[in-house]
Structure 1
Amino acid sequence: MTEKKKKMLDPDPRIYDFETEFELGQDNVRPFGLDIHNPVFLISSVLVVGFVMLSLANQEASAELFGWLRPWLTSTFDWFLVLSVDAITLFCLALIVLPVGKVRIGGKDASPDYSYAGWIAMMFAAGIGIGLLFFGVLEPVYYNFSEGGNASPLGIDASVPGNEYIGVVGTIHHWGLEGWSIYAAVGLSLAIFCYNLDLPLTLRSAFYPILGERIWGWWGHSIDTLAVFATLFGLTTSLGLGAQQVAAGLNEVFGIAPSPTVTVLLIIGITVIALGSVLLGMDAGVKRLSEINMIMAVALFIFVILVTGVWTAITRYFGVMVDYIVMLPALSNPFGRTDTSYFHGWTTFYWAWWIAWSPFVGMFIARISKGRTVREFVICALLAPTAVCALWMSTFGGAAIDMLNAGGAEGVKATVIDAYKPEGALFGFLKELPLYNIIAPISLVLIVIFFVTSSDSGSLVIDTITAGGKMDAPVIQRVFWCTLEGLVAIALLLGGGLSALQGAAVSTGIPFTIVVLVMCYCLWLALKSEHAKIK
């Protein structure tokens, strides 16, 4: 590795100018055409394969372990998760208004690789996955009507006039500013250290200001390995949810009864489709699928808003957004909470899940964001997705609440209130709308595409991490990780179902929270250095 010149730009000795390029002084071997970055690839792959084998061989024990693990973690570390996400959110919002917001990813002369439409489509498809479709109806209705109101955020009674959309407000809290700020912080850190400071596009690079050359040793190996596990388990949670929802849709549309066998076959089939997208590459595969995905999602949204009332949806949206902003400080306070079902059952799990997803989404959006300013990046990665997610949740969830209050929506009532079958909530809602026989199959295809875009994007990200930050690693490695994602999802579903999926995500999300907090500090040091160059 060549010697890096460190020029002091600030009296604080922790601020350096990392201008000089360096050679990646790491040993790489190429058995069978692989480009293996030792030891992250080997450690991660061996541990993941071992986990799959143990989970499949001991399904009852796995179900018992994960059934205990998730509630214990979310109730024990609730304050830590919430305060950490609060701090990350405030940090990201500050970057919009501070002078460092003028720093451009890739340097002052860098230009974007993708148009706004393509950039936002890929970022949104990767960051949301199947979440909007799975939770858009389920969450608002659940908070309003289930458990005798015990799941309502802040213990607010949804039956009191003026509070009828409290479930929508609680849902926006989980899909709004705080969740997207996690993605923005990680993505911006990786983008700056890669494109501005010429470090590899991998998690360890963001720690150079405090670790220096030690990022090439076991400190860096540990960070990247933890990132692989967080990404893999966060992603497979979404893949498992998507498979269950597709199975419910097949039952509704074609009368195919859901079963573990059907779910496993779905994961295998969709993984094969994702492999095809991986083989096509970023532009021909991931980008094209993401744009198709966005077009279909927008079309479904327009249909729903037209048949449920445009003006009603608009007024509802602005009403719940005002309530969200007013209630955000209370919703973000971890102390003295009495709404334990909402707080522990949902909020703390969500924050751990978003953090588990952050290496995946962060690295993906970093990879496609060269040429954007820091201010532009944060606004598009934070404020715009929050507004869109809120509009989706208030339209779908709010319309379902209106139907239930009017004595309708029997399909939603049956899947969310009478019996908790979350994967069927969307189709229960669509049954109340015209053209169900057309809209339901289209929704089914949309879920599959969301599933595929998450899987192929995730395999690209994990491959980049395990290849030491290389963005052109051999395709066979992407195939390996894409296949392994499907196997982990199958192992978790068979070894405990939904609780196993959620438990795995939380178990990696909590320790990775510390990594994200330190990344924010390192990013601030780097942005101060970069801003000094353009004064």
Structure 2
Amino acid sequence: MKQPLTGISPISFYGSAIISLGLIIFASAAPDAAAAVFKHANDWIIAEAGWFYMLAVGGFVIFLLVLAISPLGRIKLGPDEAEPDYSYGTWVAMLFSAGMGIGIVFYGVAEPIMHFSAPPDAAPRTPQAARDAMEVTFFHWGVHAWAIYAVMGLALAYFGYRKDEPLVIRSAFRPLLGDRINGAIGDVIDIFAVVGTLAGLATSLGLGVAQLNATGAYLFGLAQNLPTQLVLIGIVTGLATVTVATGLDNGIRRLSEMIIIVSFILMFLILALGPTRFLLQAFVENIGLYLNGFIGRTFHIYAYEPTEWVGTWTLFYWGWWISWSPFVGLFIARISRGRTIRQFLLGVLFAPAGFSFIWFTVFGDVAIWLDIHEANGQIATTVAGNMPIALFTVFEYLPWSSFLAWLTGLLVAVYFVTASDAGALVIAMITSQGNEEPVLWLRVFWSLVCGGVAACLLLAGGLGAVQMAAVIAALPLAVLMVLMCYGIWKALSDEVALTTSASLPAAPMVPHEAARFWRRRISAIIDHPGRLQVERFIATTVAKAFESVARELEKPEHIDAGIEKTSDGLRFVISHGETVPPFVYEVRPVSKPIPAFVVTDASRKEGGRNRYYRAEVFLAQGSRGYDIYGYDLDQVIADIVNHYGRYRHYLAITA
């Protein structure tokens, strides 16, 4: 009989669950004490470790840009023959909706207008203040934010799909820790990831419920208070629990595609109803301001003119993004299999950032323009006193205000659900040994815990406590991510060495004997065998070759070699200890269309076959792209031994 708690990683699950439930109990039973603890820890981190956050995030950007333009960018996140699971448009919609959806609605008006009315470096409400406001907003929501997500996502996708490791955070540390990641150290890494994800997710849900409450207040006259927000968290958590149970394709993907469409509709309406020419001009200038200040802002920690502003804004954002990076990183890794590193990095760094730039220009600049020309400072005053109502304050000065508010309410609700259910799915994956389809009860459990943590942090100090939790949880994760960058570089460097070894010229093992079979090989090349023929070839000739090589390896060095039957082929594996990746040589039947130039082939006639099968060779890094059907036993053995010799060369140069 199946045990009720199967499908989990026990220490990671129970450790994370105990910490999460303990936080919920502490914040519920002693909200004032919890608020004091959060504030003290947050103030200490900003004062003592703020420089580390700034340096780490700047390093992430440089590391990823170098990686994207280097030859390493051609390596696939998966076997060489892997293809992306989703179209580019769907992929961008999914990673964006899970990454920042709630935040851009909440801060779309609020952040630019607050920097405009209280800038860190310029006189308030001046043209320079407006320029600085948009430059800083772009900086907070641009490439730097997505570089944090990309580091985590790249590590997980590479080790999970290229190296066939479990899709959990600990897998990224195998180049540094070896098999120790399977023990207590790995469990601690995953627990940090879960707790950080909960803190980052709680921040987004806290912002989302505040925005949802403001929407209800504007449309229905709901009270803007804590009890209302707790009820809303309960409702949306219930909806998210239902959605997460439907899985990635049926639930999250469709919601992601829908909200991108709704977001573009809302942006287009604001652009059309607002000062269109000014917004288009502002977008061009904002891009220039962002590029001009890119390097300076990256390392600007206000060391010479200390200010609380950098802790309230930049360091809060970096902490938020870092604490949420296990969630977004694992989620985008899950949907990025089959893309090259270059495609992954260019897409993750620039596509969502570009969307954010358009969004903040439309909403932020329209708020600044209205505040100067129509509202006489009233928008800034209202936002300073009630940030969640910022967006609706702008609607008051535009036509169709009620329709815009309804559209915003729909957007916030769906963003809220997608963030919650995607977060629950990712945490369930971390605590289930990387299972990409965690058991239902585990997904439901973490969906409820996500809502519970957000609600209890609101109890323990409101939105401020939620934001502090993100900054606090980010510190250990930032250290882990710096180490992760080194692990990625080391693993990629080792792969280059393996590729170099694989390109060494092959020594002909049986030149005279193999020459006798050239007629048979020509026959195999021009033939177009069916699946049964190729499977028979694998089961006889290839299997005998594997057995012969295995027997020979066991004689002098007692090397452990094994033969494994896969779902669609036969695999030969040679192990050299737990710390060294095994040598893998696999042959699979691969279907291909019969070439169009074979016009006389009977199989091209009406009603005949239009596909044939190849006996393709696969190594650890994927398909080698050639067919060995028709090889003699000695030729198959020669091919195995040649590849194994290259593998031994790789071990020698990477030892």
TM-score (norm 1): 0.90
Shift of 1:439: 1.2
Residues 247 and 437 in structure 2, CA contact (< 8 A), matched pair in contact too: no
Q: Does 1:200 align with 2:151?
A: no
Distance 1:226 1:291 in 2: 31
Partner of 1:508: 473
SS for the counterpart of 2:4 is helix
Select the structure that is richer in helix.
1
Distance 1:46 1:454 in 2: 23
2:307 to 340, 352, 360: 340
- Identify unmatched segments of 5+ residues in structure 2: 501-655
Shift of 1:309: 3.4
Q: Against the structure 1 CA distance between its residues 311 and 407, is the aligned structure 2 distance closer, same or farther, given a 3 Å change threshold?
A: closer
Partner of 2:80: 108
- Identify unmatched segments of 5+ residues in structure 1: 1-28, 147-151
Residue identity opposite 2:256 in structure 1 = S
1:71 to 9, 22, 43: 43
Distance 1:427 1:137 in 2: 9
SS for the counterpart of 1:32 is coil
Q: Does 1:404 align with 2:404?
A: no
* 1:374-393 equivalence runs, <5 A: 374-393=341-360
1:190 to 118, 139, 156: 156
* 1:233-272 equivalence runs, <5 A: 233-272=199-238
Distance 2:230 2:129 in 1: 41
Residue identity opposite 1:119 in structure 2 = W
Single out whichever of 401-410 and 210-219 deviates more from structure 2. 401-410
Distance 1:294 1:534 in 2: 40
Partner of 2:504: none
Shift of 1:470: 1.1
Partner of 1:520: 485
SS for the counterpart of 1:39 is helix
1:463 to 423, 428, 433: 428
Distance 1:102 1:517 in 2: 23
Distance 2:2 2:44 in 1: 43
Partner of 1:10: none
Per-residue CA deviations over 1:493-532 (Å, capped at 9, x if unaligned) read 0111112101111111011100111111111112223344
Shift of 1:456: 0.5
Per-residue CA deviations over 1:276-319 (Å, capped at 9, x if unaligned) read 11111111101011111111111111111111233322211111
Per-residue CA deviations over 1:400-424 (Å, capped at 9, x if unaligned) read 111111141766234224x2x1111
Distance 1:99 1:486 in 2: 43
Q: Does 1:312 align with 2:252?
A: no
Partner of 2:330: 363
1:281 to 247, 250, 273: 247
Q: Does 1:166 align with 2:138?
A: no
Residues 138 and 426 in structure 1, CA contact (< 8 A), matched pair in contact too: yes
Partner of 1:497: 462
Single out whichever of 255-264 and 32-41 deviates more from structure 2. 32-41
Partner of 1:91: 63
Q: Against the structure 1 CA distance between its residues 40 and 314, is the aligned structure 2 distance closer, same or farther, given a 3 Å change threshold?
A: same
- Higher-RCO chain (CA-CA 8 Å, sequence separation at least 6): 1
Distance 2:149 2:423 in 1: 14
Residues 409 and 432 in structure 1, CA contact (< 8 A), matched pair in contact too: no
Partner of 1:228: 194
Distance 1:285 1:473 in 2: 15
Residue identity opposite 2:453 in structure 1 = V
Distance 1:176 1:137 in 2: 16
Q: Against the structure 1 CA distance between its residues 390 and 39, is the aligned structure 2 distance closer, same or farther, given a 3 Å change threshold?
A: same
Distance 1:308 1:480 in 2: 45
Larger Rg: 2
Select the structure that is richer in strand.
2
Residues 122 and 128 in structure 2, CA contact (< 8 A), matched pair in contact too: no
SS for the counterpart of 1:256 is coil
Distance 2:58 2:105 in 1: 26
Q: Against the structure 1 CA distance between its residues 266 and 282, is the aligned structure 2 distance closer, same or farther, given a 3 Å change threshold?
A: same
Percent of residue pairs bearing the same amino acid type: 37
Partner of 2:450: 485
Partner of 1:395: 362
Q: Does 1:37 align with 2:15?
A: no
Residues 400 and 409 in structure 1, CA contact (< 8 A), matched pair in contact too: no
Residues 427 and 440 in structure 1, CA contact (< 8 A), matched pair in contact too: yes
Partner of 1:294: 260
Shift of 1:162: 4.8
Distance 1:471 1:460 in 2: 9
Q: Does 1:326 align with 2:292?
A: yes
Residues 463 and 477 in structure 1, CA contact (< 8 A), matched pair in contact too: yes
Shift of 1:63: 2.1
Q: Does 1:352 align with 2:324?
A: no
Partner of 1:175: 141
Residues 59 and 494 in structure 1, CA contact (< 8 A), matched pair in contact too: yes
Residue identity opposite 1:267 in structure 2 = I
Single out whichever of 384-393 and 404-413 deviates more from structure 2. 404-413
Distance 1:500 1:115 in 2: 39
Residue identity opposite 1:45 in structure 2 = A
Residue identity opposite 2:255 in structure 1 = L
Shift of 1:35: 1.7
Q: Against the structure 1 CA distance between its residues 32 and 343, is the aligned structure 2 distance closer, same or farther, given a 3 Å change threshold?
A: same
Partner of 1:474: 439
Partner of 2:389: 424
Per-residue CA deviations over 1:16-68 (Å, capped at 9, x if unaligned) read xxxxxxxxxxxxx9642542212110111112111101110001211222233
Partner of 2:419: 454
SS for the counterpart of 1:351 is helix
Single out whichever of 316-325 and 65-74 deviates more from structure 2. 65-74
Provide the aligned length of Structure 1 versus Structure 2: 499
TM-score (norm 2): 0.74
Residue identity opposite 1:57 in structure 2 = A
Distance 1:432 1:532 in 2: 62
Residue identity opposite 2:414 in structure 1 = I
Single out whichever of 465-474 and 203-212 deviates more from structure 2. 465-474
Residue identity opposite 2:397 in structure 1 = E
Distance 1:123 1:516 in 2: 20
Distance 2:412 2:37 in 1: 30
Q: Against the structure 1 CA distance between its residues 206 and 405, is the aligned structure 2 distance closer, same or farther, given a 3 Å change threshold?
A: same
SS for the counterpart of 1:408 is coil
SS for the counterpart of 2:419 is helix
Residues 106 and 388 in structure 2, CA contact (< 8 A), matched pair in contact too: yes
Per-residue CA deviations over 1:173-217 (Å, capped at 9, x if unaligned) read 110111110101110110000000010000000000010010001
Per-residue CA deviations over 1:80-124 (Å, capped at 9, x if unaligned) read 110010001100111121110000111211101011111111001
Residues 92 and 352 in structure 2, CA contact (< 8 A), matched pair in contact too: no
Residues 213 and 228 in structure 2, CA contact (< 8 A), matched pair in contact too: yes
Single out whichever of 494-503 and 72-81 deviates more from structure 2. 72-81
Per-residue CA deviations over 1:474-511 (Å, capped at 9, x if unaligned) read 11100000000001111000111112101111111011
Residues 165 and 401 in structure 1, CA contact (< 8 A), matched pair in contact too: no
